[in-house]
Chains A and B, each alone.
Chain A
Amino acid sequence: MTKARITRIAGAIAEAQPLGDAALYELVEVGERGLLGEVIRLRGDVATIQVFEETSGLALEEPVRRTGSSLMTQLGPGLLGSILDGVGRPLQGLAGQSGNFLAAGMTMPTLDPKARWSFSPTAKPGMVVRGGDVLGVIEERPDMMHRILVPPGIEGRLEDIRGGELTISDSIGALEDGTALSLSHTWPIRERRPMARRLPGDRPFITGQRVFDLLFPVVEGGSVAVPGGFGTGKTVIEQSLAKYAKADVMVYIGCGERGNEMAEVLHDFSRLTDPLTGRPIMDRTILIVNTSNMPVAARDASVYLGMTIAEYYRDMGYHVAILADSLSRWAEALREIAARLQEMPGEEGYPTYLANRMSRLYERAGRVESEGEPSRTGAVTFITAISPPGGDFAEPVTQAALRVVGALWALDPRLAHQRQFPAVDWDTSYSLYAETTTEWFGKEGGEDWPKLRTETIRLLQRDRELREIAGLVGVEALEDSDRLVLEGARIAREFLIGQNAFHPHDAFSSVFKTYHLARLLWALMSTGTAALGEGVAFDKLDLAAVRVAFGAVKTASPETLEQRIADAGQRISEMRGE
């Protein structure tokens, strides 16, 4: 058989011949340095390959080798706390090989082959097992049980199983038909992992951000689009969620974004602890990093890699949140590759299959009952930042996302300019999960939660109408009741839905704090309205003291929170003066 050789190179795309017997999406090694690539088109015996590494310096006639499988990732203990590039190589390990700068053509397994894990089997020899059944557990991180499952698609009688201090490639036993079992297996990243069935989401994903938990909640297993122009705070939101939101495992995908931002993530995450468990954040986090100057095809892979790892932990019965920043860069990678292939462009030059690819990706999120015994439910929540050009949402990526997501957190540059953070535009944002989470919030937050939510939204809407009028006639010309609405809405914007991501006690808001701030706002409005009704002039209300009290609740530490809430309640009841 003649060896395949490179016949064309343009940007991240290479062509090689003869490779007619290759499969679509088969992984190949390109050139003498063995750059990783993937077959994305076959025409006669010419294969078109997208190369996941820098192609500069690659020459015609260099060899191309098939690997026989598609792009796979290793799944097993040791993923938590790791920092991977778009194709799953640990970046620390790569730094050991090539120093401060990344070189092309390096290989490095995702999981540490030397690490030993203490494996305790729970399955017994003689049992009939099939894909998804729990074979045993490893304490991957303190209090984090990594369940070793029978890989999907395998079935048979367990002949032998053993525990002990094992590496990921050591045998932990075998089936009667000779199938060997170990602590790890591989999975093609572009394929979704099987499940028993999908379940409706009903538990909210607690983000710790009041504007989301109160106004635009998302369920565990839900998906959210977070579009916003530059400077609207997408990245701060993604990072705040990764740090403080409530999930068993967090997968953070830095896709085509800034290197310094990733350095900040690495710096912050290695120092922070989870507010709920007190454990280091990195114990529950997997970072996938493909900065904007790293090869563009690996950007495409990075999102699938993150999704596959998330599904893997989901299958163990965990709630996993994926924070992808930004899906636009992923879509642009598709566009760049499509343009190189001279495919017929769709809208804005994106390939015509963009919407299709996106919906398939978003549909991998969800709450599911896992395959196998004992039965487990897990969820993958998918929060995606989107960077619309010029901040205009009428563009293909935002629009394709909106067709499939359950919530839109729209970021508005005008709010960002007013330093209203998170700069979530409450008029355009929505959540289809608000109804389904009402029950949970009513039980865990407070029974009047749904009422507080509607009242807050109504206040903000009324505020916008009034400000338009005030813009014409001046605030002084408004009725006292309207001025109370303006002032109440200002307090709502500043202290209820506004949140300081850099304040130690404000960056994360418990359901308790969110509830009480909303409740105080409602108390303020009803007390104020009553006072005005009894003839007290608006100017006589002591709102300055109330504002200070709201500020104190907002930034209260957990120890002082209840006292601050009581103080604020006191201020509100006294605001009409003597």
Chain B
Amino acid sequence: MTRIDVPIARTYAGAASAAGPLIFVHSTKRAKLGEWVYIETEGQEDRRGQVIDVGTEVTVIQIFEDTLGLKPATSKITLTGETATTIAGRDLLGRALSGTGAPLDGLPPPIGEARLPIWGAPINPVRRHHPSDFIETGVSAIDGMNTVVRGQKLPVFSGPGLPGVELAADIVENARPTRGEPFAVVFAAIGITERETQSFVSRFRESEVMERTVLFLNQAADPTIERLLTPRVALTTAEHLAFTHGVHVLVVMADITHYAEALREVAAAREEIPGRRGYPGYMYTDLAGLFERAGVLKDSPGSVTQLPVVTLPDDDITHPIPDLTGYITEGQIVLSRELHQRAIYPPVDVLPSLSRLMNAGIGEDHTVGEHREWADQLYAIYARGREAKLMAAIVGREGLTPGDRRALDFIDEFEKSFIHQGRSRRGLEDTIRIGWSLLETLPRDELTRISDESWEARRRSASGKEGS
């Protein structure tokens, strides 16, 4: 079988029509799906596009830049014969780049080590290593209750005005590589505001964190359709660092909601049959194409861990974007407006939050032996307390059983001293200790999740410390 892979560029004069971010070109020769396209219009900067539908009669090209002022009839359209690629390499570390990899920091473009297709191939499931290495984020609500492991994809479900990006920034700043292994951060800003970008970027610019960070910035004012490329460019860079250089890479993508809106815009321009709330029916598959690029490989030292930020429109967790995200990712960290209003930071609501890979990353070999029981117990009492709070609103505190009253007192203490930690980093040991001290305010027979072994061990170590 011969393969005709040598890219041959072909130029066409004029497109037949244009609609939103799309142009339609007639009678292209051997157009390829996913082919990269340049569009020249006189007196304007070149635009870039990609073939998304090829046909003998009409080929559809999606344009990444703004189409304002585009004159389809007189444009020169060049099909490059190549699919979209990006430069990847260690020299990208410390750089601030546009959503498609052009320098934004006044320095020359990175030279890189490889030019890689941005669409990425799926990892062969049998080559995946089961993620089980604990990542310490310095956040009690995460490390203690919803532990993250390397290779996981764990989104932050934020709401409009809630500090989702800030929490992601804290994690980036505080996450510690265990055993001094190489560690890097790739940040993909997807349509977030200048203010949000600054709150993220300015924290790192001057610090040593920047040396191990690559920034890809597509901001709110940047072209919408470029948002479909930004996370893929970022992930391609991350995969290269992880699987070629053995670096543990944390990829922060903010905000997936903007990405999904760009997807919807293209789908609408193609006059596709809309799915829920106008989002295309293939959004699950499309999002999976991003999120599934997290992972750890067998016989390879690096890893790609993802921390996407999703803004829940109207705080609605059943909205298609968080809903489909939740079906793909391995859990979610949910922020609560109520906690935020009470100045609890980070305002993580532990009840709907979940880390599906937690079990593999905790316990004797990773964190502490009693971690599971301890977390289950805190969770159980907190859940009981929250239920009691609802009930107390109706029947009053006096109508509650003594156990429910204790649980009710517990939730205040838990939120104030465990969840709330401000901007400071809290090590796992402190997290576990604070949790225990909260549990110890309750009678032993209410701590049904704590086994006798763990209880005795705790007693011994606590009295040992007092004695010494």
Binding site for B on A (CB under 8 A): 7-11, 15, 32-34, 54-62, 83, 91-92, 94-95, 98-103, 229-231, 254, 256, 258-264, 266-267, 289, 291-294, 296, 329, 332, 335-336, 339, 342, 345, 348-349, 387, 389-392, 417-419, 470-477, 494, 502, 544, 547-548, 551
Contacts and interface: CB of A to CB of B under 8 A. Distances in A.
Interface in B278-298: 280-282, 284-285, 288-289, 292-295, 297
A103 B121 contact: yes
Q: Which 3 A-B pairs have the closest CB atoms?
A: A474-B399, A390-B318, A292-B288
B352 A417 contact: yes
A294 B320 contact: no
Nearest to A63: B1
Select the residue from B126, B130, B328, B351 with max chain A CB neighbours within 10 A.
B126
Select the residue from B55, B282, B289, B331 with max chain A CB neighbours within 10 A.
B282
Interface residues of B, number: 86
Contacts of B391: 470-471, 474
B399 A475 contact: yes
A282 to B, nearest CB: 13
B276 A59 contact: no
A259 B122 contact: yes
Given A329-B284, A475-B400, A476-B399, A57 B126 contact: no
B125 A291 contact: yes
A99 B127 contact: yes
Contacts of B300: 100
Contact of A332 (B284, B328, B401): B284
B343 interface: no
Nearest to B60: A10
Interface of B: 1-4, 28-35, 52-56, 83, 119-131, 151-152, 243, 272-276, 280-282, 284-285, 288-289, 292-295, 297, 300, 318, 320, 323-324, 326-328, 330-332, 351-352, 354, 356-357, 359-360, 372, 376, 379-380, 383, 390-391, 394-396, 398-401, 404, 445, 448
A545 B274 CA distance: 58
B130 A471 contact: no
A43 to B, nearest CB: 14
A254 B128 CA distance: 15
A264 B122 contact: no
B125 A259 contact: yes
A531 to B, nearest CB: 20
B292 A292 contact: yes
A160 to B, nearest CB: 40
A463 to B, nearest CB: 14
A32 B1 contact: yes
B330 A56 contact: no
Nearest to A502: B359
B62 to A, nearest CB: 12
A345 B281 CA distance: 11
A101 B56 contact: no
Contacts of B380: 419
A57 B281 contact: no
B128 A57 contact: no
B121 to A, nearest CB: 4
B410 to A, nearest CB: 16
Contact of A289 (B2, B33, B125, B372): B125
B241 to A, nearest CB: 15
Contact of B54 (A9, A94, A230, A348): A9
Contacts of A55: 33
A263 B125 contact: yes
A473 B400 CA distance: 9
A551 B448 contact: yes
